[in-house]
Amino acid sequence: MAKVAVVLVAAGRGERAGGAVPKQYVPLLGKPVLRWTAEAFAGLVIQPVVGTRDEAAFGAAMAGLKTLTPVAGGPTRQHSVMHGLEALIAVKPDFVLIHDAARPLVSPALVDGVVAALEAGADAAVPLLPVADTLRKQENGKWVGVTRDRLMRAQTPQGFRFAKILAAHRDHKALALTDDMALAELAGLDIVVVPGEETNLKITTAKDFAMAEQLLSARLGDTRTGLGYDAHRFAPGDHVWLCGIKVPHTHALEGHSDADAGLHALTDAILGAIGAGDIGQHFPPTDERWRGAPSWKFLDHAAGLVRDKGGAVTHCDVTLICERPKIGPHREAMRARIAEILKLEPERVSVKATTTEGMGFTGRQEGLAAQAIATVRLP
């Protein structure tokens, strides 16, 4: 069986997307773009090429996913691809797929089609799509029609015999081409066209993120909901932890960990949505490893179990039930912290508070409680 490797090109800054971070690290339904893309190539040797300032973001996005050690990109896409190809020499793959990290919706069928064309004897296999729209260009101040009969849109992954595309890059390294098909043509390689996919969207602008989420939501067809509840009594102290935020108070919360009732309830909600038991099964209060542990670790673990199933947490809602402390001044910080842990956009996180009008243990200020609901999508 032929050995197939992937050069995953993730070194760009994605300036047209307009975000504070490169677009490949922006979350889609709770997972970074890069993570969705890499998971599409599970089972193949993955050689990432990343920006020189993005090592930490790459590590967080790819935690638990097996890849080769990333290499730094170059000043152009072509240089970045060549760095990835050079790093694969020790692996000695028969074929290499070169794919843009900003295409997170690439399907297994498209990957298989590119590899099948190489196995059938082609030097190169490139997904192309016909241009469907009417095209216009400006000439002398007027918009004139452009025939689209022989126009095609190139996508990735573009597949090649490894030795031949490496040689092409070395022979033409002074150029700055935008895809590897152009290099294959310069090198005289035998190129086979495979059908591209309309859903193989390349995220370029901010509006593309919404489209990508719609397409991913359609792919993740099983929507589940989980409910969680937790309560802790007050104990001597000067602060409480709630939804990952340290809140000054006249008392602390009693518990084996940091007793963050908000994160405990949310953790149980996610575990419930995927049928994975409850927080006590994963982090028993009899285990000294978790004494005083920060509860964000519990929530991160539950979200990781969802990712392991190929799914994503898409929304959560936490209600804190207490007379004191006041939640309002800390609400936005809590939302931001939960969004950070779950890798969600803050607008997908809700934190509310209510009282019991002086009734019950929360009304008597003997402790507080939290309930949470989480929405999860699974393949």
CATH of the domain at 20: 3.90.550.10
Residue 17: the pLDDT is: 55
CA 198 to chain centre: 21
- My answer on whether 161 and 232 are in the same domain is no
Strand partners, 28: 31
pLDDT at position 150, please?
79
| 24 to 11, 12, 43, 286: CA distances (angstroms) | 9, 8, 21, 41
Cβ atoms within 10 Å of 212's Cβ, excluding its own:
23
Among 219, 253, 285, identify where a domain stops.
Answer: 219
Start-to-end C-alpha separation, the chain:
29
Domain range for 190 is 4-219
Of 204, 219, 234, which residue constitutes the final position of a domain?
Answer: 219
Rg (CA), the chain: 25
Number of domains into which the chain is organized: 2
Residues 228 and 210 both lie in one domain: no
Residue ranges of the chain whose pLDDT lies below 70: 14-20
CATH assignment at residue 254: 3.30.1330.50
Last-in-domain residue among 219, 250, 279? 219
| Same domain for 176 and 45 | yes
* Separation in Å, CA 6 to CA 61, 253, 351: 18, 50, 41
Q: Are residues 211 and 285 in the same domain?
A: no
Helix (H, G, I), strand (E, B), or coil: what is residue 43?
coil
Tally DSSP H helices, then E strands, for the chain. 12, 19
d(C-alpha 56, C-alpha 278), whole Å: 31
**What is the per-residue pLDDT for 147?**
79
Q: How far apart are CA 377 and CA 330, in angstroms?
A: 29
Q: Do 113 and 231 sit in the same domain of this protein?
A: no
Residues 227 and 206 in one domain: no
Predicted confidence at residue 149, as pLDDT, reads: 77
Quick: pLDDT tens for 341-361. Answer: 998 888 899 999 999 999 999
The pLDDT score that the predictor gives to residue 233 is: 97
On whether both 38 and 178 belong to a single domain, the answer is yes
pLDDT of residue 16: 57
What is the torsional sign of CA 165, 171, 172, 174?
Answer: positive
pLDDT of residue 79: 94
Please write the tens of the pLDDT for every residue from 181-207: 999 999 999 999 999 999 999 999 989
**215 plus 138 within the same structural domain:** yes
343 and 262, same structural domain?
yes
- 118 and 238, same domain (yes or no): no
Are 134 and 279 found together in one domain?
Answer: no
Does 127 sit behind a cis peptide bond, omega within 30 degrees of 0 on the bond before it? no
Nearest C-alpha neighbor of 339 from the set 30, 36, 25, 34: 30
Q: Which of 5, 180, 23, 178 is nearest to 101 (CA)?
A: 23
Q: Are 203 and 325 in a shared domain?
A: no
Q: How confident is the model at residue 307, as a pLDDT?
A: 87
Give the pLDDT score at 151: 87
Q: For residue 57, which of 86, 37, 34, 90 has the smallest C-alpha distance?
A: 34
Q: What is the pLDDT of residue 217?
A: 84
